[in-house]
Amino acid sequence: MSKCICDFRLIQSYALPSGNRIMQFIPEGDCPECFPGQFIEVKIDHAPTALLRRPISVCHYSVRDGLTLLVKPQGPATSLFTELPLGSVVNMMLPLGHGFNTDIKPGEKVLLAGGGVGIAPLVMLCDCLAEKGATVHIALGGRSANDINGIPQLFPKAERVFASTNDGSAGTEGVVTDIPIFERLADYERVYCCGPTPMMKAVARIARASEVWCEVSLENHMACGLGACLCCVENINEAEGNVCVCTEGPVFNINRLTSWQ
Amino acid sequence: MAINLSVDLGAGLVLKNPVLTASGTFGYGHEFSDFIDLDKLGGFIVKGTTLEPRQGNPSPRMAETPMGMINAVGLQNKGVAYFVDHIYPTLTRFDSEVIVNVSGAKLSDYVAVAEALAPLDKIHAIEVNISCPNVKAGGMAFGTTAAGAAEVTSAVRKAWNKHLMVKLSPNVTDITEIATAAEASGADSVSLINTLLAMDIDVERRRPRLSTITGGLSGPAVRPVAVRMVWQVAKRVKIPVVGLGGICSADDALQFIMAGATAVQVGTANFIDPTVTIRIIDGITDYCHRHNISDINSLRGII
């Protein structure tokens, strides 16, 4: 699959209660297909101090609807990006990285666990797995109800959506792994997870203990996104050592990620 | 008007145009082959290669700073034997020059790497890195004294009879002394500048942004320093100078050439625009047309 640099036009943009933003783009020219778990590198113009592109997960991609991103205004550059007016044209490099393994059999029961802006790649993954005949459950983790509100609507093909919040204002009080489904995780054939590292480590630990197949999507700090700068490495296991998250990942099966014990 | 962009760095290293990619910013070339035709480059300098495999430094390895970035990769690579057996065969098909950046912790490492590369027909030049700020031993330690630079250059010179480029550190009091020492010890060219030793602190978390505390600053932020150093060195040495440091455009590249560089390297800008090298080559051609310049060599060192 060939990577390309392509201009996109912003056609829709709205804020979720969490303050994160859903932004929908259509390509200005030919654009290669993106798969769940892959990411793009966007160039944010006019951010006074930003030099590098910003890696952002593909939230959704289809030929009909174009490219959707879920973006957290984290620093000056991403804040400027989320405030772009409709019609703005931005330059992106895509598709990057290895996404989730979606090679499943119809009827499989899968759990998608996400926290914060980490739910982004799970949106497209949910559609993809449901279309392949999986029964998809979603587990969302947030600090409060504001982090959860508006999110279940992004998963129209999910059979169930569970939630947890640190303050108990929505769903189970606690963290995502406090949701009772994690007590019987072996009910699921697969678990996919993207969120803050402590959350992914907790999910991976339970999946390992329950002997459930599990993939996690890492979000290491990146520069190039192409495997050239070696800035985003993760020490994944003793044999392979440091590997580039941008090209070997960002999605890793926990069987390969044995450094996460 | 036909424009000559070809430059001769001496000792058998002739480039079809003056644009090279800087070591550590361009992988082994194939990472960029979706975006550009690598054969349009003057050449590319592959990732720093050491005798033994190196895991590099722990994460985090990178911090973005105003118009720049600080890295502390620490020469992660699979070692020269792996390079010779697995990577070199993928590079022989290119028409562009492929230059290997050679790094080491001790003198005998540099020599052993040069010896291992010597039989490779496609490799007409090595760039000896005596300026990496991100390794505990070797690296910059050799490049911060004239005696150290002379020692490494002389030792590698005995093991390598093709073009020998020596990459200099800017983290010195007088870079012209180091350049002069490398020249006197047998270097065919010098490249400068490697990254500037730098540091960035996350005040909210009250800790450094890099695992190694300090790292090397690159990007447009360093360019004026680099142009000044290239100008100083080009006035002092007779061997060709290869200029690098924050080059993002044809104008940037031309600054280095006018300051005295025979060729340039493009580094950090590859991370932002993987096609930047081609834009720079095309931009230099446009500049020559606009200014009625028939040979890029006529612009060298005019300042």
Tell me the per-residue pLDDT of B253-274, one tens digit each, with 9 for 90 and over. Answer: 999 999 999 999 999 999 999 9
- Assign domain A109-217 to a CATH class: alpha beta
Q: What is the ipTM of this complex?
A: 0.94
Contact yes or no for B32 and A228 at CB 8 A: yes
User: What CA–CA distance (Å, rounded) separates A28 from A89?
Assistant: 8
For residue B105, what pLDDT is reported?
Answer: 87
Contacts of residue B282, defined as CB under 8 A and 6 or more positions apart, other chains included, come to B250
The DSSP line for B194-228 is -PEEEE-EETTTTEESSTTSEEEEESGGGHHHHHH
Q: How confident is the model at residue B285 (pLDDT cuts 50, 70, 90)?
A: very high
Q: Which residue of B has its CA nearest to A222?
A: B62
- Reply yes or no: is the peptide bond before residue B193 cis, omega within 30 of 0: yes
How much of chain B exceeds pLDDT 70, in percent? 98
Query: Around Cβ B158, how many Cβ atoms within 10 Å?
Result: 11
Q: Residue range B4-9: average pLDDT? A: 98
Contact yes or no for B35 and A3 at CB 8 A: yes
- Do B157 and B115 form a contact (C-beta atoms < 8 A)? no
**Per-residue pLDDT tens for A181-228?**
999 999 999 999 999 999 999 999 999 999 999 999 999 999 999 999
**Per-residue pLDDT tens for A14-27?**
999 999 999 999 99
- pLDDT at B136 exceeding the cut of 80: no
Query: Which of B34, B58, B65 is facing A4, going by the closest CB pair?
Result: B34
User: What CA–CA distance (Å, rounded) separates B288 from B139?
Assistant: 38
Query: Which of A221, A227, A231 is facing B27, going by the closest CB pair?
Result: A227
Q: Residue range A161-182: average pLDDT? A: 97
For residue A48, what pLDDT is reported?
Answer: 81
Q: Which helix (H) or strand (E) holds A90?
A: strand A89-96
User: Which residue blocks in B237-268 are alpha helix, DSSP H?
Assistant: 250-258
Question: Measuring CA to CA, which residue among B159, B90, B97, B83 is closest to residue B128?
Answer: B159
- pLDDT at B205 exceeding the cut of 90: yes
The pLDDT mean for chain A works out to: 96
pTM of this structure: 0.95
Contact yes or no for B62 and A229 at CB 8 A: yes
Q: Could you tell me the two tokens for B136?
A: 């505990």
Question: Measuring CA to CA, which residue among B115, B94, B95 is closest to residue B49?
Answer: B115
Q: Which helix (H) or strand (E) holds B286?
A: helix B276-290
For residue A261, what pLDDT is reported?
Answer: 78
H and E: helices and strands count for chain B: 10, 16
**Per-residue pLDDT tens for A57-98?**
999 999 889 999 999 999 999 999 999 999 999 999 999 999
Q: Which amino acid belongs to residue A72? A: K
Query: Around Cβ B200, how many Cβ atoms within 10 Å?
Result: 17
- pLDDT at A233 exceeding the cut of 70: yes
User: What CA–CA distance (Å, rounded) separates A107 from A97?
Assistant: 28
User: What CA–CA distance (Å, rounded) separates B162 from B188?
Assistant: 9
Q: Which helix (H) or strand (E) holds A207?
A: helix A197-209
With an 8 Å Cβ cutoff, is A2 touching chain B?
yes
**Per-residue pLDDT tens for A92-113?**
999 999 999 999 999 999 999 9
Give me the active site residues of B, please. Answer: 132
What is the second-level CATH architecture of the domain A4-96? Beta Barrel (2.40)
CATH superfamily of A219-261: Dihydroorotate dehydrogenase, electron transfer subunit (2.10.240.10)
Contact yes or no for B27 and A235 at CB 8 A: no
Kindly tell me the burial class for residue B89, based on how many C-beta atoms sit within 10 Å of its own C-beta (0-12, 13-18, 19 or more): exposed
Q: Which amino acid belongs to residue A168? A: G
**Per-residue pLDDT tens for B17-74?**
999 999 999 999 999 999 999 999 999 999 999 999 999 999 999 999 999 999 999 9
Domain definitions of chain A by residue range: 4-96, 109-217, 219-261
Contact yes or no for A230 and B271 at CB 8 A: no
The DSSP line for B176-191 is HHHHHHHHHTT-SEEE
Q: Which helix (H) or strand (E) holds A76?
A: helix A76-82
User: What CA–CA distance (Å, rounded) separates B273 from B84?
Assistant: 29
With an 8 Å Cβ cutoff, is A239 touching chain B?
no
User: What CA–CA distance (Å, rounded) separates B267 from B245?
Assistant: 7
All residues of chain A having their beta carbon less than 8 Å from the beta carbon of residue B55 are 235, 241-242
Q: How far is A150 from chain B (nearest CA, A)?
A: 30
Return the residue matching tokens 């010890």. Answer: B185
For residue B182, what pLDDT is reported?
Answer: 98
Task: Classify residue B219 as left (phi > 0), alpha (psi -120 to 50) or beta.
Answer: left
Half-sphere exposure of B1 (CA within 13 A, CB side): 15
Q: Which residue of B has its CA nearest to A55?
A: B272
User: What does each C-alpha distance from B204 to B25, B66, B201, B208 come to in angstroms?
Assistant: 30, 18, 9, 10
What domains can you pick out in chain B, each with its CATH number? 7-299 (3.20.20.70)
**Per-residue pLDDT tens for B76-134?**
999 999 999 999 999 999 999 999 999 998 999 999 999 999 999 999 999 999 987 76
For residue B158, what pLDDT is reported?
Answer: 97
With an 8 Å Cβ cutoff, is A255 touching chain B?
no
- Do A199 and A175 form a contact (C-beta atoms < 8 A)? yes
Q: Could you tell me the two tokens for A6?
A: 């392509």
User: What does each C-alpha distance from A222 to A44, B30, B210, B237 come to in angstroms?
Assistant: 15, 19, 13, 38
Q: Could you tell me the two tokens for A27?
A: 């390509």
Query: Which of A49, A223, A235 is facing B67, going by the closest CB pair?
Result: A49
Q: Residue range A164-193: average pLDDT? A: 97
Q: Residue range B232-245: average pLDDT? A: 98
Residue pairs spanning A and B at CB distance below 8 A: 94
For residue B137, what pLDDT is reported?
Answer: 64
Return the residue matching tokens 């912790």. Answer: B105
Strands, E, within A122-166: which ranges?
135-142, 160-165
Q: Which residues pair with residue B71 across a beta bridge?
A: B62, B216
For residue B212, what pLDDT is reported?
Answer: 96
Q: How far is A108 from chain B (nearest CA, A)?
A: 36
Kindly tell me the burial class for residue B234, based on how many C-beta atoms sit within 10 Å of its own C-beta (0-12, 13-18, 19 or more): buried
